[in-house]
């Protein structure tokens, strides 16, 4: 006996409610009970799908997080800037504080879910680096995880530690720095 089929509408309502709470009140205020209430569901509906708040928040992020766009600006520098712009928009969004709370509670199933979601967000960068190799702008594709860490790490640090906004000059500097590291040259955009 296969059991009853998943109610996709209910799951969508639960994830939408979790996203709304996460973005408006933050991770600490997110509870399974509040999600159920806001989605007009039962707590058991939430617990049947997610073992804990971290798993629910991770799936809400995966369902509602704005994607990093696939882009092809025709040059490594242009591709890097498009990637930086998308990440800066994400790190400037109101949901980012909810993400910070979630990171401290990632364990087991939630961590696996989160890493799967996060790994998909660097695919546009991987494709950009592959195109740069094909165009002869760089000799070999570098470790994409390291490049992503250098770029996104700078944005995370500025937003979370420095509590500073992203100016166009700052985003230009990140783009130029990544480009220089990858090509061992300087760039004049």
- Position 2 pLDDT exceeds 70: no
CATH 1.10.357.10 fits 66-183, yes or no: yes
Going by pLDDT thresholds of 50, 70 and 90, the confidence category of residue 188 is low
Please tell me the distance from the alpha carbon of residue 179 to that of residue 122, in angstroms, as a whole number.
Answer: 16
The domain defined by 8-63 folds into Arc Repressor Mutant, subunit A (1.10.10)
Please give the pLDDT value at position 3. 53
Please give the pLDDT value at position 79. 96
Going by pLDDT thresholds of 50, 70 and 90, the confidence category of residue 167 is very high
pLDDT digits (tens, 9 = 90+) for 13-62: 999 999 999 888 888 889 999 999 999 999 999 999 999 899 999 899 88
Average pLDDT, the chain: 88
- Where in the sequence of the chain do the CATH 1.10.357.10 domains occur? 66-183
Please give the pLDDT value at position 97. 72
| pTM for this model (two decimals) | 0.79
Please give the pLDDT value at position 36. 97
CA distances from 48 to 33, 59, 78, 149, 150 (A): 13, 14, 45, 35, 39
Please give the pLDDT value at position 187. 55
State the DSSP string of 104-133: TT--HHHHHHHHHHHHHTTHHHHHHHHHHH
Q: How far apart are the first and last CA of the chain?
A: 62
Going by pLDDT thresholds of 50, 70 and 90, the confidence category of residue 82 is very high
């Amino acid at each position: 006996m296969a059991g009853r089929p998943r109610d996709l509408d209910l799951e969508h309502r639960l994830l939408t409610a979790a996203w709304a709470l996460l973005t408006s009140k933050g991770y600490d205020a997110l509870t399974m009970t509040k999600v159920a209430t806001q989605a007009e569901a039962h707590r058991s509906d939430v617990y049947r799908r997610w073992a804990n708040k971290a798993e629910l928040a991770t799936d809400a992020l995966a369902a509602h997080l704005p994607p990093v766009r696939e882009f092809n600006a025709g040059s490594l520098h242009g591709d890097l800037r498009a990637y930086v712009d998308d990440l800066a928009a994400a790190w400037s969004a109101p949901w980012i504080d909810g993400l910070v709370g979630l990171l401290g509670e990632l364990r087991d199933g939630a961590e696996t879910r989160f890493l799967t979601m996060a790994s998909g967000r660097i695919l546009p960068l991987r494709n950009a680096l592959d195109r740069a190799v094909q165009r002869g702008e760089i000799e070999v594709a570098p470790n994409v995880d390291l490049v992503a860490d250098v770029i996104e790490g700078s944005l995370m640090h500025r937003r979370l530690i420095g509590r500073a906004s992203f100016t166009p000059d700052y985003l230009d500097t990140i783009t130029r720095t990544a480009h220089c590291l990858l090509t061992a040259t300087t760039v004049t955009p």
